[in-house]
């Protein structure tokens, strides 16, 4: 296993400079020696560096052809992103929203300071992500306070990736609704072309299903039917890669929605979407069945609530 070469491949694929990840634990000269194979690196230092690169141990060892047993990655490899999710309980409780807003503003001040002290591409992405999360809270509390966010750095980062890791999938899913349809489709195709060939990286499965389905919804709402078909094809690739029942059910729903969008095919489309809900109910996926049922009502006009297609709303 060539640790140094693998580290360098991950770092350069993300266009991360050495001095962006160098700190009191790993100096730039030391990292340079490790990448050249001139120095060994301890397990603790390697783990620290992987956290700075936002690469999970499973992804690293798989790339280095030395794969340990699969395990879910810890939050430490994903920065602040695990803190940036809303759920239905929170959005329907003003007090909980205000509490999340207060905590998020503290976090926003922290990440802004971290960027100003030591500017880097990743710290800028982190700053923008917390800004966006604050906006999403304001969407439910007071939409008039939603501020402008420049997502150009995130778009540039994603478009210039030479390969993708789970962290990049997470970043894309978080910012997807801020990008135009053409960019979203381009990134979706790029992401799907980097689905790990090894089943060891199972962490990709659920989040890829979520982001593809959320983008499919966004394309359908924008009447980008050709783009939606591309998303459908990518979902089929995910189904073939991971062989999950959930993906097959989601595909059934997507095909039904596309059928519904065709003139004269509304009944067939509704039937397919209802079939997906019925299967979820039989499998006792109660929450998923409820969400799909609400989505059907939104699609056919029984529920006036806008379809958002947000992979980060749990």
Picking from 38, 32, 42, the residue whose alpha carbon sits closest to that of residue 7 is 32
User: Alpha helix locations (H) across the chain?
Assistant: 3-13, 18-21, 28-35, 43-53, 57-63, 88-91, 94-117, 121-141, 152-159, 166-175, 181-192, 203-221, 225-242, 245-260, 266-282, 286-300
- pLDDT of res. 314: 46
Report DSSP state, residue 176: G
Three-state DSSP class for residue 86: strand
Q: Which positions ≥6 away from 51 have C-beta within 8 Å?
A: 76, 77
CB count within 10 Å of CB 209 equals 20
Facing residues of 86 across strands? 313
Of residues 104, 100, 169, the one with CA closest to residue 130: 104
On the 0-12 / 13-18 / 19+ scale of CB atoms within 10 A, 47 is: middle
Domains and their CATH numbers in the chain: 3-77 (1.10.260.40), 180-314 (no CATH)
pLDDT given for residue 290 in this prediction: 92
The residues, any chain, with a CB within 8 Å of residue 244's CB and separated by 6 or more, are 205, 209
Per-residue pLDDT of the chain (314 residues; tens, 9 = 90+): 578 888 898 898 888 889 888 888 888 999 899 888 888 888 888 888 888 888 888 788 777 765 544 444 556 678 888 889 888 889 889 999 999 999 999 999 999 999 999 888 889 999 999 999 999 999 999 999 999 999 999 999 999 998 888 889 889 989 999 999 999 999 999 988 876 655 445 566 777 888 899 999 999 999 999 999 999 999 998 888 777 788 899 999 999 999 999 877 899 999 999 999 999 999 988 988 999 999 999 999 999 888 887 766 54
- 240 to each of 3, 111, 163, 233, 248, how far by Cα in Å? 31, 39, 21, 11, 9
pTM of the model: 0.81
Give me the residues paired with residue 313 across strands.
86
For residues 35, 56, 203 and 1, what is the CA-based torsion angle, rounded to 10 degrees? Answer: 40
C-beta neighbour count of 43 within 10 angstroms:
8
């Amino acid at each position: 296993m060539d640790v140094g070469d693998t580290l360098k491949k991950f770092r350069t694929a993300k266009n991360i400079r050495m001095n962006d990840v160098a700190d009191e634990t790993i100096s730039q000269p030391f990292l340079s020696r490790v990448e050249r194979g001139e120095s060994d690196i301890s397990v603790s230092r390697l783990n620290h560096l992987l956290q700075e690169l936002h690469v999970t141990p499973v992804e690293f060892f798989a790339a280095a052809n030395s794969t340990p047993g699969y395990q879910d990655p810890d939050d430490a490899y994903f920065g602040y992103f695990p803190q940036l999710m809303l759920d239905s309980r929170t959005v329907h409780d003003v007090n909980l929203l205000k509490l999340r807003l207060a905590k998020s503003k503290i976090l926003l001040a922290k990440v802004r300071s971290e960027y100003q002290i030591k500017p880097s591409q990743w710290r800028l992405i982190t700053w923008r992500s917390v800004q966006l999360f604050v906006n999403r809270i304001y969407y439910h509390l007071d939409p008039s306070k939603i501020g402008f966010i420049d997502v150009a750095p995130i778009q540039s980062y994603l478009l210039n990736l030479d390969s993708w890791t789970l962290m990049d999938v997470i970043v894309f899913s978080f910012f997807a609704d801020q990008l135009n349809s053409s960019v979203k489709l381009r990134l979706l195709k790029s992401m799907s072309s980097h689905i790990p060939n090894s089943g060891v990286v199972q962490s990709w499965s659920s989040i890829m299903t979520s982001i593809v389905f959320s983008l499919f919804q966004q394309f359908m709402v924008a009447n980008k039917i050709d783009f939606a078909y591309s998303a459908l094809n990518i979902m089929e690739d995910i189904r073939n890669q991971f062989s999950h029942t959930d993906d097959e059910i989601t595909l059934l729903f997507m095909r039904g929605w596309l059928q519904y969008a065709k003139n004269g095919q509304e009944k067939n489309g509704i039937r397919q979407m209802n079939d997906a809900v019925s299967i979820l109910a039989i499998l006792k996926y109660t929450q998923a069945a409820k969400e799909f049922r609400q989505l059907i009502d939104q699609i056919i006009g029984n529920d006036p609530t806008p379809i958002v297609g947000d992979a980060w709303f749990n």
